[in-house]
Amino acid sequence: MAYVARIDRPADKAARYAEVEAEVLAVLDGEPNLTARMATVASMLADAFDHFFWTGFYVVAPDKADELAVGPYQGTLGCLRIAFGRGVCGTAAATRRTQIVEDVHAFPGHIACDSRSASEIVVPVLDSEGRLIAVFDVDATEPAAFDADDQVALERLMAKVFGRG
C-alpha cells in the first residue's frame, strides 16, 4: 500500500484523516477481531500525524463495568486502569461525549500518565448495538492541538470501524 506524505498543516487535516480512514478500512476489511482492529487504528493514526504523542484505546473492563483498562496503544507507558468519571477518559466514558481539552493541567482530575502531555481529545467508541466498548484517546505535547475537525474525523472513523458506520 502506498502511503502519502505526512501533512500536518491544519488546512490539510481533514484530507489526511480521509486518507487514513480509507487506508484503515482497507486493511481491516474482513477482520472481525476487536484487538486487531483497535491495534491497527492506533498504529495507523499515530503514524499519520507527527503530533500524536499518545494514541490508543481504553477498553470497558470485562471484570468491572465502571472501569476502563488500557487497550492497544502507541506511545509511552499509559495508566492501566481508569474509573468511569475520572480524568478525561473517564469523563468521556461516563458521559459518552467527546472531550477536547486544550490544557490538561487545568482539567479537574486529569490523570497525568506522562507529564509531557499538554492537550488531548477522547472519543467514545460504541459498537453496532450502541453500547460503549471503549474510548479512544489522543494526547499531544503542545497545548490546544485538537479541535472540532479532529472530533468530526475521529468520531466518523470510530463509527465506521467499530459501530454502525
The residues of the shown chain that bind ligand SME, judged by CB under 6 A, are 54, 78-79, 82, 87-90, 110-111, 113, 117, 120, 137, 139
Q: How far is CA 101 from CA 50, 61, 91, 108, 143, in A?
A: 19, 24, 11, 11, 9
Nearest distance in Å: CB 72, ligand SME: 12
Q: Shortest Cβ distance from residue 13 to ligand SME (Å)?
A: 21
Cβ closest to ligand SME, residue 23 vs residue 89: 89
Residues 144, 33: Cα–Cα separation, whole Å: 34
Among residues 108 and 130, whose Cβ is nearest to ligand SME?
Answer: 108
CB of 20 to ligand SME, least distance (A): 20
Q: Which residue is nearest to ligand SME (CB)?
A: 87
Backbone dihedral region for residue 129 (phi beyond 0: left; psi -120 to 50: alpha; all else: beta): alpha
Nearest distance from C-beta of residue 56 to ligand SME, angstroms: 7
The rounded distance, in Å, linking the Cα atoms of 131 and 53 is 28
